[in-house]
Amino acid sequence: MKIEISTQFKKLQDQICIGLQRVDTDSKFSEDLWDRPGGGGGRSRNLSNGNVIQKGVVNFSEVTGKTPEVVLKSLDLPTSDFYATGVSIVIHPLNPWIPIIHMNLRYFEMSDGTYWFGGGIDLTPHYVIEADAVFFHKQLKAICDQHNISNYSQFKKSADDYFFIKHRNESRGIGGIFFDRLSSQEHKEKEKIWQFILSLGNGFLPIYTELISRNKDRPFTKEQQDWQYLRRGRYVEFNLVLDRGTKFGLDTNGRTESILMSLPPFASWKYNHNPEPESLEAKTLTYLVKDFDWVSHDCTNQIFRYYITGPH
């Protein structure tokens, strides 16, 4: 089955790159093929300085070898060989009204028969537009509801807990869904889990291209771009300080360029920065909290009115 999984992940990488290039007509993905000394390799694809995407990375990897000691110790597993494959995507848009999006889908298998699927998808808006947030979460719930092995509420809770910047007491964005170690120990049929993973992967393009089309032509100011760079700074803080995937990759001598592909091309930090009260920036911060119910949210507040009518 791992051959089918890796083949479908490569097809998903191709599909997403082609779809994003149709949206961003000014730039194309470049490809970097690489080999892992311990076994396996991957295809890293990067798009830079487009008219919509300032930096986008869509990576595929398929690696094998001796299971790293850090994994064996953390999971209390015996020494064995491993096989891992997956797709990782991070898109940093040019326009601050378009959100950052991240998706990671992965499969891990050990020679003793242990296996699991993991991953998820989450959204990091620079400005929280309620209609977009509601759309995003309703789409994810619809995908989860199609599969009886997936639970939107549980996976959303996991995302809220995971994508939380503890030292800021602030969520990285509006979350999404996150899951780890889905296997037959929790669900009887591996094929059902795999079909859920495929559905989520195939949902990426229609979800994100809709968000792009809603916002790509909206004008923005230098001040709004400055706020975008500050929010990117929060994204960097999470990925370098808290993200388990980054830590695991660096601790196991993974490919640095692929591990750090999530970082934006530009980001900034300001000492003790606080947005003006009642500003769009301040209102955005009120939504960066855990356990916000976006599926049931009523889009009637000021940010949404600004979005559809412009400033008053």
Q: Tell me the catalytic residues.
A: 102
Sign of CA dihedral 113, 65, 41, 103: positive
Count of alpha carbons within 13 angstroms of residue 39, beta-carbon side: 11
Q: Which two tokens stand for residue 82?
A: 């491993």
Q: Which two tokens stand for residue 18?
A: 């082609």
The dihedral region occupied by 113, where left means phi > 0, alpha psi between -120 and 50, and beta the remainder, is left
- The strand pairing partners of 30, in sequence order, are 46
**Pairing between β-strand 164-165 and β-strand 170-171 as defined by DSSP bridges:** antiparallel
CA 221 centroid distance within chain: 26
CB 159 within 8 A of CB 175: yes
- Cα Rg of the chain (Å, integer): 19
